[in-house]
Amino acid sequence: MISYYKSVSGRLINEACFEDGCWVNTVAPTDEEQAFIRESFSIPEHFIRAALDEEERSRIDTEDGCTLIIVDTPVCIATDNGNEYSTLPFGIFLTPKGVVTICLKPTALCKSATGGAIKDISTKKHRRFVLKLLYQNATLFLQYLRQAEKEGTFAEKALNKNTGNKELLRILRIEKGLVYFSTGLKGDEAVFEKLLRMKFISDYPEDAELLEDVIVENRQAIEMCAIYRDILTRTMDAYSGVISNNVNSVMKLLAAITIILTVPQIIFALWGVNTPVPFDHDAFGFWVVVGVAMLITVLATAFAFYKKWL
């Protein structure tokens, strides 16, 4: 799907067709749509294939007057057991005619941009528009990181009440998402550093200053991601120790009970052999044997309590 947006008074307005100074946003394009943007904006075919590859790393490349910038953008998918976090390559083509973006799936970056989250935006200033998109992308990482941290805290409180698989799986899912975020943020940082050294940015002080703000925001997201990952890892290690300790306590209790119950079984087994035994012909022999068994069982139980087995 191809959408066209043009800035009017600092806000994006959806247009029916392409005009000079428009932003062309492409989501999951068909073969015909790919051919259209390739021919209309002179974009190399392998640039488009790279931007639509889910495994493509963040990078920047220039060919035939077209600059390709691929960054990882955060993705949040709602599930029955909390949110699932991941990243997706987001391709930005800086062409003489305008800015073209392409992505395999709808992203929060495009929704926030078209929803007015980016202030004083202008699609005519191509470089500035791209830098504001990158800044908004870093901001989205921070928003999702705070959201993930709140979900992790909620799951931890639930674990304090009941150590269930649902809460553990939720924490594991969040931790997995933070790994994706960390990898994507570090890849984006390398792209920003390279972009900062490029001539068409360094020649414009205002653009260079905005890109430095993007780098600062991205580094803050990297630090937050590392902190949250460390907290979740320590939390999982702590609860693993608690679960292991609980299992050991249960096994210890069951072993002590088994030993105690073995005592009367041994006594009854001795008096059940096919040889003469004490109290064999005594009318109260049965109760004497039961009493002895109970007495020894009580002593064994007291010994187990003394040794803190129970």
The tens-digit pLDDT sequence of the chain (310 residues) is: 887 777 777 677 766 676 777 778 888 878 888 888 878 777 888 878 888 878 888 888 887 778 888 888 888 888 777 778 888 888 888 887 778 888 888 888 878 777 777 777 777 777 888 888 888 888 888 888 888 888 888 877 777 776 667 777 787 888 888 888 888 888 888 888 887 777 766 667 777 788 888 888 888 888 888 888 888 888 777 777 777 777 788 888 888 888 888 888 888 877 777 777 777 777 777 788 888 888 888 888 887 787 777 7
Cβ burial of 10 (10 Å; 0-12, 13-18, 19+) is exposed
For position 261, what pLDDT does the model report? 85
Q: 8 exposed, middle or buried (CB, 10 Å; 0-12, 13-18, 19+)?
A: exposed
Looking at residue 163, what is its pLDDT?
64
Among candidate residues 229, 246, 23, the one with its CA nearest the CA of residue 122: 23
Number of domain units in the chain: 2
> Residue 125 sits in which domain range?
2-244
Do 212 and 297 fall within a single domain?
no
Spatial separation of the C-alpha atoms in residues 270 and 163, rounded to whole Å: 45
Q: Are residues 21 and 163 in the same domain?
A: yes
pLDDT at residue 29, as a whole number = 79
188-219 pLDDT tens trace: 888 888 877 777 666 677 777 888 888 888 88
Q: Please check whether residues 183 and 230 belong to one and the same domain.
A: yes
Contact of 195 with 127, CB cutoff 8 Å: no
Both 141 and 279 in a single domain? no
Q: Which residue, 244, 279, 295, sits at the end of a domain? A: 244
Shared domain for 88 and 232, answered yes or no, is yes
CA angle 247, 249, 252 (to 5 degrees): 110
CATH number, position 116: 3.30.460.20
CA separation for the pair 97, 23 (Å, rounded): 10
Question: Do 224 and 278 fall within a single domain?
Answer: no
Instruction: Characterize 234-252 residue by residue with b for buried, 16 or more Cβ atoms within 10 angstroms of its Cβ, and e for exposed.
Output: ebbeebeeeeeeeeeeeee
Both 200 and 59 in a single domain? Answer: yes
- The strand pairing partners of 87, in sequence order, are 74
